[in-house]
Structure 1
Amino acid sequence: MLDLSHRLQADSVGRTLSLFGERWTMMIMREAFFGVRRYGQFARNLKIPRPTLSLRLRKLVDAGLFDRVLYSTDPDRYEYRLTKAGRDLFPAVIAIMRWGDTYLAGPEGPPIVLRHESCGSPTRPHLTCDKCGEEINTRNVRPERGPGFIEAPAPASNETKRRNGREP
């Protein structure tokens, strides 16, 4: 198995979690995927403290996931529109939703059901291989070094430690 333990901050999961590793950010993204664009709508739907909402929205704009667009003047009012990078996060949020529906929903079922507009049926999206269409799961994928892989720094040798005044 490939040892990626040194890559916590350098790999894609670590970097993504540094942006999304807290609850409010993912809840804001969920609301945006369901059509919310305006600050007041986010605040009402989420019951989030306004300073927290302002900070999270600014962080999401700075990260390139939302565009802040003026929609009214006097006073200036803005809406938050998902960028391509923001829209591309949809599968991850849906995967988290699906997991919650499977393991955390009560006996009455999931609180939100997704309906596929093309066929009109309720749907439970899943991950598939973009080459063969087979469903992807932990049993049929493995991590391999990608083009951006960074080697772990080599431990200092005893000779280097002696030269730097540290006993081996």
Structure 2
Amino acid sequence: MTRTDFTGIACSIARSAAIVGDPWMLLIMRDVALGLHRFDDLQRDLGAATNVLSQRLERLVEGGLLRRERYAQRPDRYGYHLTEKGADLVPVLLALTAWGDRWEAGEDGPPLIVRHHTCGNDTHATVTCHSCGEKLTPDQITYHPGPGAHPGRGTALIGTLLTGHPDE
């Protein structure tokens, strides 16, 4: 079976999903953001097979979300740390956590509480307008084509809606 290459689709969600669209990737990024950096610690926490974890870490390093740093020799041991690109994913992880806490936490409630250092209060992510600060909801936004918009594979219908040009 051929794997679809989402990186060529004119859609930021598709291109992002090509990097972090598998649950292992998100869980690895969560763990590194929470302070787990060593392969053994990540493997122990996630329970992933070592080959699966190695492959995912390699893809995250290649994708520029993590950097690999040697912390021991003989044998060489490496730690994984967020890059600027990886740190920019943390708000996405927080938003996904907030959604999961609301819809998937179950009767016991959320498994993790996020506390804001500045004010000391427990918090959750919200997506707000960067201009006015109002919370963004589906009924309060519209979509318009950006400079990279074009209809094609993966965006045939929405590309046409956004650009007004039929799929080529």
TM-score scaled by length of structure 2: 0.83
Q: Tell me which residue corresponds to 1:92.
A: 92
Query: What is aligned with 1:62?
Result: 62
Q: Structure 2, unaligned stretches of length 5 or more?
A: 1-7, 153-164
When Rg is computed on C-alpha atoms for both structures, the one with the higher figure is 1
Shift of 1:151: 4.0
1:119 aligns with 2:116: no
Q: Equivalent residue for 2:12?
A: 12
SS of structure 2 residue aligned to 1:81: strand
1:78 aligns with 2:78: yes
| Equivalent residues, number | 149
- Consecutive unaligned residues of structure 1, counting only runs of 5 or more, are 1-7, 157-168
Amino acid at match of 1:149: A
Shift of 1:155: 6.4
**Cα distance change, pair 154–109 in 1 and its aligned pair in 2 (3 A):** closer
**Matches of 2:10 and 2:56 in 1, distance apart?**
23
The 3-state SS of whatever aligns with 1:110 is coil
Q: Residue 139 of structure 2 aligns to a residue in which SS?
A: coil
Deviation at 1:154, TM superposition (A): 5.7
For 1:37, the equivalent position in structure 2 comes to: 37
Once the two structures are superposed, what CA deviation does each residue of 1:111-167 show, in whole Å capped at 9, x if it has no partner? 1111111222111121111111111111111111001112448668xxxxxxxxxxx
Could you tell me how far apart the structure 2 residues matched to 1:155 and 1:96 are? 32
* Structure 1 residue aligned with 2:160: none
Q: Does 1:109 align with 2:109?
A: yes
Instruction: Give the partner amino acid of 1:138.
Output: P
CA distance in 2, matches of 1:89, 1:63: 12
Higher RCO by CA contacts (8 Å cutoff, separation 6 or greater)? 2
Partner deviation per Cα, 1:32-58 (whole Å, 9 max, x = no partner): 111111111110111111100000000
> How large is the Cα RMSD of the aligned pairs?
1.7
Identity %: 37
Give the 3-state SS of the residue equivalent to 1:139 in structure 2.
Answer: helix
